[in-house]
Amino acid sequence: MINMVLIGTGNVATHLFHAFLTTENVKVIQVYNHLEESLLPFKKHTATTTSLSQIKDADVYVICVKDDFVAETAKKISFKKGIIAHTSGSVELLKSSAHSAVFYPLQTFSKNVEVDFKEIPFCLETSNKGDNELLEGLAKSISNKVYFISSAQRKKLHLAAVFACNFVNYMYSISEDICKENQVPFDVLSALIKETAKKATLNSPKDVQTGPAVRKDQKTIQHHLDQINNADYKEIYKLLTQSIINQHE
C-alpha cells in the first residue's frame, strides 16, 4: 500500500484524488490546502490540514499547486522523508529534497469534465533511481501510459506540443475562418478533423501526409493561393506547402 498526501485542491488535485479513491494499492491519507473551505469536498473521504507543518508521514507527497508556487511549497515540506513529487510540466526536477520527483499528467483538465486517466500519459522523473519503482506503481495504478522523461526531454516535449496542439488549433482556426467567409458550416469538417488526429496517433504522420503539397500538384496549389485573401494565411499556405515538399524530397 502506497500512502500519499495530496498538496493542493485545484483541478489536477481533484481529478487525481477521485482517480486514487478507487485504486487498491494507493491511499490518499491527507489533503492540504491553506484555506479550510477548499478542503470541504475532501473531508468526508480523508484527513485534511491547512498547515504544511502538520502533514502526515507518507510514502509520497504530490504537489498540485500553480507553477510559480511549486518550488516554495516543496521547500516547506523538505523535512519529510517520503518522495516529494510535483505535477507541473514546465517546472524542472527540484533540488530541495533528496527524493524529488516529477509526476506529470500530460493533458488539460477542466473542473467539471470527468477524466479517464487510463488514457492520459504520465511523464515521470526522479532524483533517485531507487524511487522509480514506487512512482511507476503510483502512475500505473491509474494510467496505462507511463513514461520516464528527463527534464531536458520535457522541454522538447513542450516545444513538440506547441506544434501538435497550439499550432494545430491555429490551423483549425484558419479553416473555420475560410468556412465562415463562404457560409460553409465548419461542422462539415468535424469528422475529417477527428479522423486526421486519430490517423496520426496510429501511424507516423509523415507516412500518411496527403494533400496537394505532397503530390506536388502545382495547379491546385496555385488555385488555392488565388482564393486566399488574408495575407497571413497566404504566407502560411506558401511556407507550409514548400516545407512539406522539402520534407518529402
Binding to a copy of itself, residues 90-149 (CB under 8 A): 106-108, 119-121, 123, 145, 147, 149
The minimum distance between CB 59 and a copy of itself, in angstroms, equals 26
Distances (CA, A) of 18 to 10, 28, 72: 12, 10, 26
196 contributes a contact to a copy of itself by CB under 8 A: yes
Among residues 8 and 105, whose Cβ is nearest to a copy of itself?
A: 105
Query: Which stretches within the chain are classed as H helix?
Result: 11-21, 36-43, 67-76, 132-140, 151-161, 168-181, 190-202, 218-227, 231-247
State how beta strands 122-126 and 26-32 pair.
unpaired
Among residues 1 and 208, whose Cβ is nearest to a copy of itself?
A: 208
The residues in 201-230 that bind a copy of itself, with binding defined as CB under 8 A, are 201, 204-206, 208-214, 224, 227-228
Q: How many residues form the binding site for a copy of itself (CB under 8 A)?
A: 83
Among 81, 195, 216, 222, binds a copy of itself (CB under 8 A): 195
Among 22, 183, 229, 249, binds a copy of itself (CB under 8 A): 183
- Angle (CA) 44-46-50 rounded to 5° is 100
CA-based Rg of the chain, rounded to a whole angstrom? 23
Secondary structure of residue 244 in the 3-state scheme: helix
Among residues 79 and 172, whose Cβ is nearest to a copy of itself?
A: 172
